[in-house]
């Protein structure tokens, strides 16, 4: 009876071995399973006896796949079919014939499932791939002091292998409700915008942006900035990015009536439009596993007026992950304008901090 069981099971093992991918290591070891993916550093093999195994690419001597594999090369070309290796050459049995690829030219291997996921990441729907979060703060006092303040900070980012969309919003509103308080509204400012970037080469990208700002205490009804230009990925790793940007923008500003004071006469509403250059840098760095630091600095010299008029912005923020959904966020921004209405300050500083609710879609 035992011999009969052995005879029955032998074909089963033979068929299983026959239809499994095989990896032969340089030390002579042999692994069987299903090759899922690889890059130029490692190869992933899914097995029945040890789940998924990661093998160093330099430790591999031979590969034989019974399933089709998608072989990506340095020239950007991909060929698909069962793969065998011989003398450092990958031989891919495509539907139209065998194709040979030198091992040094192979940048990635993917089975059908991994290739489908890879192509999906290359062209994801607009509503997928978003990451970011929002912070909402509210304060209220009563008794000897009567104040209310509301703050909001929001960031959203959708990055693919070829483009990126970023959005932001920072708002602070505060009042002093004491009967003798002047002014009653002590802060009422809002900043928001979006930018779209698309890679032209590995280092060069083009971008278009739109930013909007209001500040009641500076009598700024609305500042609209529409710009575009080119940028360089000076540093582009998974933990650190540093971009340099340059271009042009069109700015439209609308200031309201500035009331008279003891030292400054009343000023009529101001509306002005002008073209300006855009020079900036953006930096991101991941501190360990839980904190992300971002910084942006921009300089906008006015191209239509003499006298060195310009606008400068600086933004700094951190998000520290506390759990899957929550983090601690700090957002600081400073906007400097050389020619605000008389009686108003040139600087606008905004700081928000609080518990951040993160989202990923």
Q: How does pLDDT run across 249-270, given as a tens digit for each residue?
A: 999 999 887 776 666 677 778 8
Q: Are residues 116 and 134 in the same domain?
A: no
Instruction: Give the predicted TM-score (pTM) of the model.
Output: 0.68
Q: What is the pLDDT of residues 189-204, one digit of tens each?
A: 899 999 999 999 989 9
Say whether both 118 and 198 belong to one domain.
Answer: no
Using one digit for the tens of pLDDT, what is the confidence trace for 117-175?
888 777 777 887 888 888 888 778 877 678 888 888 888 988 887 889 999 998 988 88
| 69 touches 58 (CB < 8 A) | no
- Indicate if 318 and 197 belong to the same structural domain: yes
What domain range includes position 58?
2-122
Let me know whether 118 and 138 are in one domain: no
Nearest to 243 by CA among 276, 209, 290: 209
Whether 216 and 355 map to the same domain: the answer is yes
Which of the listed residues 72, 87, 122 is the one where a domain comes to its end?
122
pLDDT score of 308 more than 70: yes
**Residues 204 and 115 reside in one and the same domain:** no
Q: Number of folded domains in the chain? A: 2
- Phi/psi for 71 (5° steps) reads -100, 115
CATH code for the domain in which residue 61 is found: 2.30.30.100
Look at residues 61, 91, 122 and tell me which one is the last residue of a structural domain: 122
Give the CATH number for residue 203.
Answer: 2.40.230
CA dist 282 and 164 (Å) reads 14
Average pLDDT over all residues of the chain = 85
Are 262 and 167 members of one domain? yes
200 close to 359: Cβ distance less than 8 angstroms:
no
Query: How many Cβ atoms sit within 10 Å of the Cβ of residue 244?
Result: 13
pLDDT tens-digit readout, 49-95: 777 888 998 898 999 999 999 999 887 889 999 999 878 888 999 88
Q: Please state, in angstroms and rounded to a whole number, the distance separating the CA atoms of residues 221 and 10.
A: 82
- For residue range 207-238, list pLDDT tens digits in order: 999 999 998 888 889 999 999 999 999 998 87
Residue where a domain terminates, one of 87, 122, 157: 122
Whether residues 112 and 138 share a domain: the answer is: no
Q: How many residues does the chain have?
A: 361
* pLDDT above 60 for 6: no
Tell me the three-class secondary structure of the chain, residue by residue: CHHHHHHHHHHHHHHHHHCCEEEEECCCCEEEEEEEEECCCEEEEECCCCCEEEEEHHHEEEEECCCCEEEEECCCCEEEECEEEECCEEEEEECCEEEEEEHHHEEEEECHHHHHHHHHHHCCCCCCCEEEEEEEEEEEECCCCCEEEEEEEEEEEEECCCEEEEEEEEEEEEEECCCCCCCCEEEEEEEEEEEEEEECCCCEEEEEEEEEEEEHHHCEEEEEEEEEEEEEEEEECCCEEEEEEEEEEEEEEEECCECCCCCCCCECCEEEEEEEEEEEEEEEEEECCCEEEEEEEEEEEECCCCCCCEEEEEEEEEEEECCCCEEEEEEEEEEEECCCCCCCCCEEEEEEEEEEEEEEC
Q: Please indicate, yes or no, whether residues 242 and 104 belong to a single structural domain of this protein.
A: no
Query: CA–CA distance from 124 to each of 207, 275, 342 (Å)?
Result: 20, 35, 50
> Residues of the chain with pLDDT > 90: what percent?
30
Clarify whether residues 25 and 43 are in a common domain.
yes
Per-residue confidence (pLDDT) for residue 185, from 0 to 100: 82
116 and 154, same domain (yes or no): no
234 and 306 part of one domain: yes
């Amino acid at each position: 009876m035992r011999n009969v069981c052995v005879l029955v099971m032998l074909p089963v093992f033979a068929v299983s071995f026959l239809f499994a991918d095989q990896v032969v290591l340089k030390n002579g070891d042999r692994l069987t399973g299903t090759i899922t993916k690889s890059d130029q550093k490692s190869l992933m093999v899914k097995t029945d006896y040890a789940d998924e195994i990661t093998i160093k690419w330099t430790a591999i001597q031979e590969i034989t796949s019974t399933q089709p594999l998608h072989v990506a090369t340095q020239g950007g070309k991909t060929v698909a079919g069962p793969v065998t290796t011989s003398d450092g050459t990958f031989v891919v049995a495509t539907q139209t014939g065998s194709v040979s690829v030198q091992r040094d030219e192979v940048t990635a291997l993917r089975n059908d499932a991994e290739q489908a996921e890879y192509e999906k990441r290359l062209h994801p729907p607009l509503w997928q791939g978003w990451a970011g979060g929002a912070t909402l703060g509210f304060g209220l006092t009563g008794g000897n002091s009567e104040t209310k303040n509301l703050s909001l900070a929001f960031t959203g980012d959708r990055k693919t292998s070829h483009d990126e969309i970023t959005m932001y919003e920072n708002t602070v509103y505060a009042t002093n409700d004491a009967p003798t308080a002047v002014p009653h509204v002590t802060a009422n400012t809002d900043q928001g915008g979006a930018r779209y970037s698309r890679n032209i080469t590995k280092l060069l990208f083009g971008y278009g942006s739109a930013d909007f700002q209001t500040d009641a205490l500076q009598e700024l009804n609305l500042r609209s900035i529409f710009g575009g230009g080119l940028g360089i990925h000076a540093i582009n790793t998974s933990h650190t990015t540093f971009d340099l940007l340059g271009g042009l923008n069109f700015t439209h500003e609308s200031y309201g009536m500035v009331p008279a004071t003891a030292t400054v006469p009343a000023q009529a509403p101001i509306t002005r439009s002008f073209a300006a250059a855009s020079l900036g840098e953006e930096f991101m760095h991941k501190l360990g596993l839980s904190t992300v630091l971002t910084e942006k600095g921009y300089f906008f010299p006015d191209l239509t007026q003499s006298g060195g008029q310009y606008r400068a912005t600086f933004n700094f923020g951190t998000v520290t992950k506390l759990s899957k959904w929550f983090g601690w966020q700090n957002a600081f921004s400073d906007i400097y304008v050389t020619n605000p209405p008389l009686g108003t300050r040139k600087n606008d500083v905004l700081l928000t901090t609080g518990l951040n609710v993160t989202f990923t879609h």
